[in-house]
A and B are shown apart, each in its own frame.
Chain A
Amino acid sequence: MSIEQMILIFASIVAAATPLAFAAFGELVTERAGVLNLGVEGMMLMGAVAGFAVASQSGSLTLGFGAGLLAGLAMSLIFAVLTLHLQTNQVATGLALTLFGAGLSAFIGKSYVGLSLQGLQPISIPYLTDIPLIGRLIFHFDWVVYGSFVLLFGLIWFFKYSRWGLVVRAVGESPVSAHAIGYPVIRIRYLAILFGGAMSGIAGAYLSLAITPMWVEGMTSGRGWIALALVVFATWKPIRVMVGAYLFGGVTILQFYGQGMGVHIPSEILSMLPYLVTIVVLVLISRNPKTILLNQPMSLGQSFYPRT
């Protein structure tokens, strides 16, 4: 493998991993607050269609990403109102959100099918990009890719060192206790859900504005579900989410690379892989009460209604 090839392959892996990372980071925050939102796929699709529609109308990719973020946010707001105020079942509501997002995005996107635009370009960083080899290997990406790393370190800091990060975790572990000592559980869960929606929106917009700058119906093709699996795979830890995103993103690219070289690995097995690994991780952390306690937000998926 030549160096030129390695740089190209690495760039493909980064592009594949970035939307997974964004969506999974968002979901991680939501789940850490004890809310399971299975609507990631639907929110991503809405982010993708809104991002593409606005970018092709306005000609600005930045506005497009903004619209993607807002669309994801709006979708998650529906989920938040339903599950937090009206106490609907989180699993059912999340699934409904995915189906709703798939249909609505296809409807909105009808007049945008068949259009194309100039996708998001990598940015050059003065001096750093000019470093031979390394410059083009790690300092030649678009700002969303760098954003995913900023987000990673931000989240690590947030959950480990910030007071509000600890409060979010407390809400996810035991909303009853958090409420008893005076934290606004519902408000915190609202914010966590909205953050998840916004990140899913960006992830979707990255697909329709950077990876393949166009809109086609159902273009996320199950990436929202991979993001959901990633959070479990990562046992709710940001750094492992990032590793997992690169792993799952990289597997596809390497499989394609193998095919191009004439080595064939059944793609069905690779499509199963994220879920298979997730099940293994679930089995590992569920083997005794202690490991469950250490890894999983205890109130995950349970509704909470504050009784005053």
Chain B
Amino acid sequence: MKLKALFVGCALSMGLVSVSQAGEPLKVGFVYVGPVGDAGWTYAHDQGRLAMDKVFGDKVKSTYVENVPEGADAERVIRQLAADGNKLIFTTSFGFMNPTLKVAKAYPNTDFEHATGYKMAKNVGIYQARSWEGAYMLGVLAGKMTKSNILGFVGSYPVPEVVRNIDAYTLGAQSVNPKIKTKVIWVSSWYDPARERQAAETMIAQGADVLAQNTDSPAVIQTAEEKGVYAFGWDSDMAKFGPKAQLTASTLNWSKYYTMEVKQVLDGTWKPASTLWGMKEGMVVLTPLNPAVPADVAELFKAKEQEIISGTLMPFGGPIVDQSGKVRVETGKEMPMDELMSLNYYVKGVEGSIPK
């Protein structure tokens, strides 16, 4: 990635910067927070990029810079991509929000797309996946497959995104099994396989027999495989780390979105928008079920999946009761979007409290 950044810099200094002209391919840049090979978040984005490349062939030339830290370096990398003549730049991590906006101001003729942020501008659009729909569906399976009625969840950091997934997972499980409890262990890292494993081991020792995680490594599923309990893939398919353990995986598919955005830029119809896609739009995709799932459970699962896709089932539809027993969302209502985006409490059935 350093090398690539260097090339970009060289091109800039030698005056090779070209403005895209008719007949030349549209240059599209991607900024990744992690390595492409991480089998999780960044991997999913790169799969989306490759699929988009395939659709447009010669008309598009995409480049990426991986392992970009969410700090001062990010702005430099984004600026270089813009200077290099990329007309559309995707920045794929929350921490790239302010650098993206800053560079966007300096390059008004370049379009920017920022993932998981909330600030927009004339030439900055935002996009995000409703990953909690996937978490809810994992919960449905977990609720049916557990024998001990204790579910485990390995969390990274207590940010709204992760709390939302824990709540969705628990609500999904409760929808089919009101007796379940969810244990949560925070490992204070997005990426520390040994700690993730220790957290998984601890919960298994405490009786959890279906585990989910919102961390980036496949350590949890690997541990589950070894200890003979069930687990789920998160962000990408992790079946090869636990062929017997993985019940299904909630994966992210960005290809349709990237293809659509690039097409709009090619057609000259691109406008900044705030996009929130889920299972209906094919951005959140569940992988085929483990053969160990009984037919009636699989059927129930498919039915719920269809309900979410058609919009009749809302994962955060009322009644939603928090840990103290207070009703937060009334029956028949849905949690308002701004509350969902800043969710900071556990629903009833989750054990422990959110670290402050």
A29: Cβ under 8 A from any B Cβ: no
A126: Cβ under 8 A from any B Cβ: no
A261 to B217, CA, bound (A): 24
| Chain B binder among A211-219, A286-294, A300-308 | A211-219
Least Cβ distance of A248 to chain B in Å? Answer: 13
B98: Cβ under 8 A from any A Cβ: no
Chain B residues whose C-beta falls within 8 Å of the C-beta of A213 in the assembled complex: 222
Q: A214-B241, A256-B198, A259-B352 are in contact. Are A8 and B37 (CB under 8 A)?
A: no
Task: Annotate A261-283 by CB proximity to B: 1 below 8 A, 0 otherwise.
Answer: 11110111001000000000000
A267 to B355, CA, bound (A): 9
A257: Cβ under 8 A from any B Cβ: yes
Contact A264 B355 (CB under 8 A): yes
Looking across the interface, which residue of chain B has its beta carbon closest to that of A252?
Answer: B198
Contact A12 B355 (CB under 8 A): no
Using a Cβ cutoff of 8 Å, how many contacts connect chains A and B? 110
A261 to B204, CA, bound (A): 12
A15 to B203, CA, bound (A): 16
Q: A9-B205, A113-B37, A257-B206 are in contact. Are A262 and B188 (CB under 8 A)?
A: no
Which A1-29 residues sit within 8 Å CB-CB of chain B? 4-5, 8-9, 11-12, 15-16
B194: Cβ under 8 A from any A Cβ: yes
A223 to B352, CA, bound (A): 28
A132 to B72, CA, bound (A): 58
Least Cβ distance of B195 to chain A in Å? Answer: 7
A202: Cβ under 8 A from any B Cβ: no
A262 to B351, CA, bound (A): 6
The listed residue with most A CB atoms (<10 A of its CB), out of B202, B223, B226, is: B202
Chain A residues whose C-beta falls within 8 Å of the C-beta of B186 in the assembled complex: 259, 267
Q: A116-B222, A119-B226 are in contact. Are A110 and B185 (CB under 8 A)?
A: no
Interface residues of B (CB under 8 A from A): 35, 37-39, 152, 183-189, 191-199, 201-206, 208, 217-219, 222-223, 226, 240-241, 351-353, 355
28 A-B pairs with CB atoms under 8 Å apart are A5-B205, A9-B205, A12-B202, A12-B205, A15-B198, A113-B39, A116-B222, A211-B193, A211-B197, A212-B197, A212-B217, A216-B217, A217-B35, A218-B191, A219-B193, A221-B191, A221-B194, A221-B195, A253-B198, A256-B199, A257-B205, A259-B352, A260-B185, A261-B206, A262-B353, A263-B352, A266-B355, A267-B187
